[in-house]
Chain A
Amino acid sequence: MIDVLIAVTVGCAAGVAAGLFGVGGGILFVPVLTLALGLSQINAEATSLLAIIPTVAAGTWTQQRYGNVRWQAAAVIGVAAVVGVEAGVQIATSLPESTLRRLFGVLMIAVAIQIAWRTRAKPDSDSGARGR
């Protein structure tokens, strides 16, 4: 029972993060599915993708009402990403994972700094899209 409660609570939190930041929530779904609900790692990763579908559908639907979704761009990215996954699987088998993790980690920190820097330097041009 407590496991179900944890799953629902974390699921909800992952959803809020998804809606707020435009991410799928998999980074939270996978540990909940393994630790609270006892799924194996591979099943958790697969099931996480299932959980992502209603999450992003609801988020996209809400964003669509504010006119924020660019469908053509989303379609191009989505199709290319499917190809990218295939390439990623090939690379994964030929490079040590720890090296890749560190490399990507450093890259992400660099991008974060760049975004923060640009935001700091730029005047706040739009202060919310309420009522659009």
Chain B
Amino acid sequence: MADRGTTLRLVLIGLVSGVFSALLGVGGGIVIVPLLVLWLGFRQREASATSLAAIGLIALVGVTLYAVRGHVEVGPGLLVGIPAAAGAVAGAVLQQRLRARVLSFAFAALLAAIGAYLVIS
């Protein structure tokens, strides 16, 4: 992926998703996945997998900053985070079994629903 145009687009995607999540509390994946698909021609599966890895990095930095200020509650975090980890494995396995078209349409529906929620609320 070494060429400059690609790197520039990746940097832009990161910046936009960072701004988005700081402003609205949603962000990360919901921004990264469609931009990887539309700007860089990633397949839906590759885009979502790469997005997960990027979010890991973002969350790690974010949680460290919040933890320093004493806002992180470990018990509740693990109570939802551990079942979510099991769910994520199931979701990722399920994703491989879905047709690419179905997956893209489902993602578009999710995106539209969140968009509508942001407009209305």
Q: A residues engaging B (CB < 8 A)?
A: 4, 7-27, 29-30, 32-33, 37, 39, 42-43, 45-64, 66, 68-89, 91-92, 97, 100-102, 104-109, 111-116, 118-119, 124-130, 132
Is B91 a contact of A16 with CB atoms below 8 Å?
yes
Residues in A whose Cβ lies below 8 Å from that of B29: 18, 21-24
Give bound CA distance, A20 to B73, whole Å: 27
Alpha-carbon distance between A66 and B98 when the two chains are bound, in angstroms: 14
Known: A78-B57, A97-B23, A128-B98. A109 touches B91 (CB 8 A): no
Residues of B near A27 (CB, < 8 A) are: 25-26, 30, 114
Q: A46-B72, A62-B92 are in contact. List 18 more A-B contacts (CB 8 A).
A: A9-B83, A15-B90, A19-B88, A21-B110, A49-B72, A56-B52, A62-B89, A76-B11, A77-B32, A79-B57, A85-B22, A87-B18, A87-B22, A91-B23, A104-B118, A105-B114, A118-B104, A124-B99
**Residues B72 and A43 in contact, CB atoms below 8 Å apart:** yes
Give me 29 A-to-B residue pairs in the complex whose CB atoms sit less than 8 angstroms apart, sorted by A's number: A15-B83, A15-B84, A18-B52, A18-B88, A19-B88, A19-B95, A20-B95, A22-B48, A23-B33, A23-B55, A46-B62, A46-B66, A46-B73, A53-B56, A58-B88, A59-B52, A69-B53, A74-B53, A75-B57, A76-B14, A77-B32, A78-B58, A81-B15, A88-B19, A88-B22, A101-B118, A102-B119, A105-B118, A112-B34
Assuming the A-B contacts A18-B52, A22-B51, A47-B76, are A81 and B18 also in contact, with contact meaning beta carbons closer than 8 angstroms in the complex?
A: yes
Alpha-carbon distance A30/B26, docked complex (angstroms): 10
Chain B residues touching A, majority SS: helix
Give B22-60 as 1s and 0s: 1 = Cβ < 8 Å from A's Cβ atoms.
111110111011101110101101111111111111111
Of B91, B100, B103, B121, which contacts A59 at CB under 8 A?
B91
Q: How large is the interface on B (under 10, 10 to 19, 20 to 34, 35 or more residues)?
A: 35 or more
Docked CA distance A128–B101 (Å) = 10
Cross-chain contact A79 with B87 (CB below 8 angstroms): no
Q: Residue among B55, B60, B73 with the most chain A CB within 10 A?
A: B55
Within the complex, what minimum Cβ distance (angstroms) separates B64 from chain A?
9
Question: Is B46 touching A68 in the complex (CB atoms < 8 A)?
Answer: yes
